[in-house]
Amino acid sequence: MTAVQDPDATAEGPELPPPRGPVSAAVVPWLRTGTGALPTRARAKRADPYSEDVQLALYLLYELHYQGFRGVDDTLEWDPALLSLRRDLEESFLRSLRADVRATTPEEAMESLLTEPAGDSGTSVSHYLHREGRLWQLREYAALRSLYHLKEADPHAWVIPRLRGRAKAAMVAVEFDEFGGGRAEEIHSRLFADLMADLGLETAYGRYVDSAPAGAFATVNLMSLLGLHRALRGALVGHFAAVEVTSPPASRRLARAMRRNGAGPAAERYFDEHVEADAVHEQVVRREVIGGLLLDEPWLAPDVAFGIEATGFLEGRLGACLLGAWRDGRSALRAPLRLRTAVSRA
């Protein structure tokens, strides 16, 4: 396999993408110059929180807390005007999510996660890719998921100082595995970069932002929203549980899809690793992270359930976008993929 660019090695960060509407059109030049006219609170509140424009704007604002962007001053991470706009967009996004997901208990929400969708239900991306996905669709799926997987585990790490006792110890144990058990070459974001290389994709952090539809941003923005607010720590734990519980069966299907399409050993290995590791993580998260949190702070139960349900809701929206395009024989991306010129399987 060709040498893979370490996704953490691009110190300057990715390029800023083009805007997709009036909100992001105000954010992009502000990030370049530190000046300009940002949307008023009223205007931000009127914008559709699920739109390409708002989701891209939120993604850009959140990325200031991760790797940043090339040519963007690091001090803008805490720029008061940008933080004020982010607050307005977050409130609208969160309000819409609370209106769109059902109110339930952590037990009911977890039970729904443990009920696998039928293979012919027509709603599961992993079932579709396992059954009939083609190599170009696997590439698109990996490109979109790279928005999260090239920083895998980072958003969830923000909750660690906000937990205590059993919940904190268990969360750290799971995160330790996600970060490679102390070995840089085993960090899951690096394993995903290896997967991308096997698929002929470019592996630089943020490379496919301009290809992503709103639904892909929303799934990543949810993690950042929940991670950056202590008041939403219960919801972030719920999100983490949803990810870990649903990962093993979906990863098993995706590993088989990679093998069927001859994607390469690193592509197979990423999902094989998640079948085994996340099966263990699921039990730890359910019993120790959620159990420990609710023992200490039982009033957070509705937030844990909300985190689980909001994750499923946004994943369902993204899945509908992908499957709708693929079943029509169309790309689900906004911009065509640019593949590496050569891919060696050696």
Residue count (the chain): 346
Max CA pair span of the chain:
56
Window from 138-142, 146-150, 283-287, 301-305 with minimum mean pLDDT: 283-287
Q: How confident is the model at residue 346, as a pLDDT?
A: 32
Q: Where are the alpha helices (DSSP H) in the chain?
A: 22-33, 41-46, 52-63, 80-100, 106-113, 125-132, 135-149, 154-157, 165-178, 188-198, 214-227, 233-260, 265-284, 291-296, 301-327
Q: How many other C-beta atoms are found inside a 10 Å radius of the C-beta of residue 65?
A: 15
The structure tokens listed for 35 are 């000046």
* Residue 3 pLDDT greater than 70, yes or no: no
Nearest to 123 by CA among 345, 333, 322, 267: 322
Task: Give pLDDT tens digits for 27-47.
Answer: 999 999 888 899 999 999 999
**Residue 300 vs residues 96, 106, 335, 341: alpha-carbon distances, Å:** 20, 10, 41, 50
User: Region 97-122: what's the mean pLDDT?
Assistant: 80
Token pair 């996004």 is found at 93
- Those residues with Cβ within 8 angstroms of residue 276's Cβ, 6 or more apart along the chain or in another chain: none
Could you give the CA distance from residue 130 to residue 329 in angstroms, rounded to a whole number? 17
* Residue 5 pLDDT greater than 70, yes or no: no
Could you give the CA distance from residue 202 to residue 208 in angstroms, rounded to a whole number? 9
* Residue 119 pLDDT greater than 80, yes or no: no
Task: Give pLDDT tens digits for 221-232.
Answer: 999 999 999 999
Sort 112 into a burial class: Cβ within 10 Å, 0-12 / 13-18 / 19+: middle
* Residue 293 pLDDT greater than 90, yes or no: yes
Q: How confident is the model at residue 112, as a pLDDT?
A: 85
Could you give the CA distance from residue 284 to residue 269 in angstroms, rounded to a whole number? 23
- Residue 146 contacts residue 209 (beta carbons within 8 Å): no
Residue 102, SS3 per DSSP: coil
* Residue 26 pLDDT greater than 50, yes or no: yes
Q: How confident is the model at residue 4, as a pLDDT?
A: 54
Q: How far is CA 97 from the centre of its chain?
A: 16
Q: How confident is the model at residue 339, as a pLDDT?
A: 82
Complete DSSP assignment for 134-196:
-HHHHHHHHHHHHHHHTTTTHHHHTTGGG--HHHHHHHHHHHHHHTGGG-GGG-HHHHHHHHH
Q: How confident is the model at residue 125, as a pLDDT?
A: 95
Q: How confident is the model at residue 276, as a pLDDT?
A: 73
* Residue 177 pLDDT greater than 70, yes or no: yes
Mean pLDDT for the chain overall? 91
Q: How far is CA 4 from the centre of its chain?
A: 21
Nearest to 117 by CA among 324, 312, 342: 312
CA triple 202-320-337, angle to 5 deg: 20
Q: How confident is the model at residue 1, as a pLDDT?
A: 44
Task: Give pLDDT tens digits for 311-328.
Answer: 999 999 999 999 999 999
> At 83, is the pLDDT very low, low, confident or very high (cuts 50, 70, 90)?
very high
Window from 6-15, 201-210, 324-333 with minimum mean pLDDT: 6-15
* Residue 116 pLDDT greater than 90, yes or no: no
> At 278, is the pLDDT very low, low, confident or very high (cuts 50, 70, 90)?
low
> At 197, is the pLDDT very low, low, confident or very high (cuts 50, 70, 90)?
very high
User: Region 330-344: what's the mean pLDDT?
Assistant: 78
Window from 5-14, 141-150, 231-240, 255-264 with minimum mean pLDDT: 5-14
> At 11, is the pLDDT very low, low, confident or very high (cuts 50, 70, 90)?
low
- Residue 132 contacts residue 144 (beta carbons within 8 Å): no
Nearest to 171 by CA among 244, 225, 89, 82: 244
Could you give the CA distance from residue 140 to residue 215 in angstroms, rounded to a whole number? 14
User: What's the pTM value of the predicted model, to 2 decimals?
Assistant: 0.92
Residue 72, SS3 per DSSP: coil
Q: How confident is the model at residue 229, as a pLDDT?
A: 97
Task: Give pLDDT tens digits for 43-79.
Answer: 999 999 999 999 999 999 999 999 999 999 999 999 9
